[in-house]
């Protein structure tokens, strides 16, 4: 595949656009009039200023060459059900219907390829047809918040064809299901609002590297909501406002030091664990942050003077006041970190005295002698920080799902008597312990095999152990490029086929209508064809200028 292929397709595309607009003009004017008259009848009351004979002079209706390009009837207390063939308005670029009480099924918007802005918020629509958002290749804004009468529906993946999408606002719209992992399709997306729905599941991997600035996923239905870790935020470097409150997120707050424009971080009412990263406290763009009602650990965070912080209901810090934790606590939190700050550890390991009533820890004379974390469904790796528990005699980590290797530093534990790491998924070299240590490594099929990553504690690759050792970076760079090319080519190809089919059908229809259509076609065609490419621009400028 060479670079010239897409260019050729684009040329074909513009040729077909010209043909298309030629053939469209003759018959479509009649279509717009028919639809607009149906629309006027469907709305109660009839919108003010909709009495003139020509729909192009109705208030809120903009035309270009007698085709409807914009309808704005926002906030007029209108009721009624929209006629189903709305997508016959093939030149429509903007549709503003928000703040009415329109009900029934939303008509399909499919293949309105000039459509840029759609605002449907605060109506009474009850359903959205399948494929409603297919082929909206120029869509920039879709807003349908406060649509509480909608039957439960899923985030429409058809929107992946709208690669120009800047703003997707579907808050309080009865959405269910998960966030599809398709955000690599939305290269222009800046605003994603899915607050106040009944969505579940994790944050999609394709959030990584996205240009999203405002991410509002907060306040899903009580007892449900998004879950899993929020690590992907670290690679969303355009974020400015992040509202994740009232969900079921777990794991630590990631290092957000690359999110240099982040000013508003709402994380309250989740199940986040771990130490608040010092990088967050020194993030200079930050203005307000809420951390309330999580299971955060370690020292109480101290933010800069100008930052508005709320921390109510977090009882898991090591102290009530600011200041460092006891060194045993610090070591155990280092250990917990490599288990992904598991929630059950965070719930138990609170306060500043591990020899108090901490689960899984046994002390003698204020010294930790046993750590027993057998059968706790732990994931992650065995922390080298265990080597800092210098009085440790017994360490049970068996029957979990730990990966990585056994840290060599454990051999320096002079008091060690029992080390049980059996039935995990450990790999790499096996350190040599003194013979007095009862060392159980059973049930780790990958342990001690050569080529297990050179023995260093942190080298095992994350789940891609059998990838060829060529150049992983180049490979992933290539794969991030090609999907967009492929998507582009597919969209162009699909559009071209659709245009050919459309022109073919319309020509048949035209032949039946006789010669009148042809005359119009030629007269209007001269004016419209050259300005075809600029039409969208001037239209939307005119609209917003009003």
Ligand X SMILES: *[C@@H]1O[C@H](CO)[C@@H](O)[C@H](O)[C@H]1NC(C)=O
Binding site for ligand X (CB under 6 A): 79, 101, 103, 124, 149, 176, 198, 200, 221, 224, 264, 266, 287-288, 327, 334, 384-385, 387-388, 401, 403, 425, 427, 446, 460, 463, 465
- Nearest approach, Cβ of residue 390 and ligand X (Å): 9
DSSP H helices in 109-210: none
- 384: Cα separation from own chain's centroid: 35
**Nearest-CA neighbor of 225 among 243, 201, 209?**
201
- Nearest approach, Cβ of residue 440 and ligand X (Å): 18
Q: Which long-range contacts (CB under 8 A, 24 or more apart) does 138-141 make?
A: 138/93, 138/113, 138/114, 138/162, 138/164, 138/536, 139/115, 139/164, 139/165, 140/116, 140/164, 140/165, 140/166, 140/167, 140/188, 141/116, 141/117, 141/165, 141/166, 141/167, 141/169
91 phi/psi in degrees, rounded to 5: -100, 10
DSSP helix/strand/coil, 194: coil
- Nearest approach, Cβ of residue 387 and ligand X (Å): 6
- Nearest approach, Cβ of residue 43 and ligand X (Å): 12
- Nearest approach, Cβ of residue 241 and ligand X (Å): 8
The 10 Å Cβ neighbour count of residue 275 is: 21
Nearer residue to ligand X within complex by CB, 183 or 243: 243
- Nearest approach, Cβ of residue 289 and ligand X (Å): 9
Pairing mode of beta strands 67-72, 61-64 = antiparallel
Nearer residue to ligand X within complex by CB, 216 or 439: 216
CA gap 287, 302 in Å, rounded: 13
- Nearest approach, Cβ of residue 325 and ligand X (Å): 12
Nearer residue to ligand X within complex by CB, 103 or 496: 103
Nearer residue to ligand X within complex by CB, 83 or 104: 104
Beta strands in 276-326 (DSSP E): 288-290, 295-297, 308-310
- 82: Cα separation from own chain's centroid: 31
For helices 516-528 and 472-513, give the axis angle rounded to 10 degrees.
140
Nearer residue to ligand X within complex by CB, 19 or 176: 176
CA gap 63, 70 in Å, rounded: 7
- 119: which 2 tokens? 């605002």
Nearer residue to ligand X within complex by CB, 178 or 536: 178
Nearer residue to ligand X within complex by CB, 54 or 261: 261
Nearer residue to ligand X within complex by CB, 423 or 495: 423
- Nearest approach, Cβ of residue 173 and ligand X (Å): 13
DSSP code of residue 203: P
- Nearest approach, Cβ of residue 126 and ligand X (Å): 9
DSSP code of residue 447: B
- 291: which 2 tokens? 């951390």
- 420: which 2 tokens? 């049980």
- Nearest approach, Cβ of residue 77 and ligand X (Å): 10
- Nearest approach, Cβ of residue 166 and ligand X (Å): 21
CA gap 108, 345 in Å, rounded: 51
Q: How far apart are the first and last CA of the chain?
A: 46
CA gap 15, 33 in Å, rounded: 28
Nearer residue to ligand X within complex by CB, 83 or 384: 384
CB proximity list for 142: less than 8 A, separation 6 or greater: 118, 133, 159, 162, 165, 167, 168, 169, 170
Nearer residue to ligand X within complex by CB, 126 or 521: 126
Nearer residue to ligand X within complex by CB, 103 or 502: 103
């Amino acid at each position: 595949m060479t670079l010239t292929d897409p260019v050729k397709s684009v040329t074909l595309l513009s040729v077909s656009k010209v043909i298309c607009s030629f053939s469209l003009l003759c018959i479509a004017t009649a279509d717009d009039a028919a639809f607009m008259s149906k629309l006027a009848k469907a709305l109660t009351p009839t919108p003010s200023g909709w009495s003139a004979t020509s729909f192009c002079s109705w208030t809120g209706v903009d035309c270009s060459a007698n085709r409807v390009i914009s309808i704005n009837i926002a906030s007029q207390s209108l009721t009624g059900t929209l006629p189903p063939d709305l997508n016959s308005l093939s030149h429509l670029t903007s549709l503003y219907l928000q703040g009415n009480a329109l009900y029934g099924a939303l008509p399909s918007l499919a293949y309105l390829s000039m459509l840029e802005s759609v605002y449907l918020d605060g109506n009474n629509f009850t359903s959205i047809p399948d494929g409603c958002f297919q082929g909206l290749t120029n869509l920039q804004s879709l807003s349908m918040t406060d649509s509480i009468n909608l039957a439960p529906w899923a985030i429409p993946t058809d929107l992946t064809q709208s690669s120009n999408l800047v703003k997707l606002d579907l808050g309080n719209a009865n959405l269910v299901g998960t966030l599809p992992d398709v955000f690599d399709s939305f290269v222009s997306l800046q605003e994603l609002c899915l607050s106040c729905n009944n969505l579940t599941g994790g944050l999609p991997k394709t959030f990584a590297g996205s240009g999203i600035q405002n991410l509002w996923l907060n306040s899903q239905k009580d007892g449900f909501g998004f879950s899993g870790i929020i690590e992907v935020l670290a690679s969303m470097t355009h974020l400015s406002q992040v509202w994740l409150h009232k969900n079921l997120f777990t794991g630590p707050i990631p290092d957000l030091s690359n999110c240099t424009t982040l000013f508003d971080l709402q994380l309250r009412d989740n199940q986040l664990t771990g130490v608040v990263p010092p990088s967050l406290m020194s993030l200079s763009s930050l203005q307000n942050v809420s951390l309330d009602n999580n299971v955060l650990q370690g020292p109480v965070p101290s933010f800069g003077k100008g930052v508005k912080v709320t921390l109510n209901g977090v009882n898991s810090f090591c102290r009530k006041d600011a200041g460092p934790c006891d060194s045993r606590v610090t070591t155990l939190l280092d250990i917990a970190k490599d288990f992904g700050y598991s929630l059950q550890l965070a719930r138990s390991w609170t306060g500043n005295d591990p020899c108090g009533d901490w689960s899984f820890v046994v002390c003698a004379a204020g010294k930790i002698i046993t750590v027993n974390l057998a059968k706790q469904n732990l994931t992650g790796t065995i922390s080298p920080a265990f080597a800092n528990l210098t009085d440790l005699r017994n360490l049970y980590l068996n029957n979990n799902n730990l990966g990585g290797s056994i840290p060599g530093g454990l051999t320096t534990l002079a008091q060690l008597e029992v080390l049980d790491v059996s039935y995990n998924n450990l790999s790499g070299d096996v350190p040599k312990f003194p013979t007095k240590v009862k060392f159980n490594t059973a049930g780790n099929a990958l342990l001690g095999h050569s080529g297990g990553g050179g023995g260093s504690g942190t080298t095992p690759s994350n789940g891609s152990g059998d990838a060829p050792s060529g150049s992983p970076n180049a490979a992933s760079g290539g794969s991030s490029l090609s999907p967009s090319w492929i998507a582009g080519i597919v969209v162009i190809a699909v559009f071209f086929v659709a245009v050919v089919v459309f022109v073919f059908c319309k020509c048949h229809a035209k032949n039946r209508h006789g010669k009148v259509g042809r005359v119009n076609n030629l007269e209007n065609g001269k004016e419209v064809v050259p300005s075809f490419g600029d039409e969208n621009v001037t239209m939307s400028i005119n609209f917003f200028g009003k």
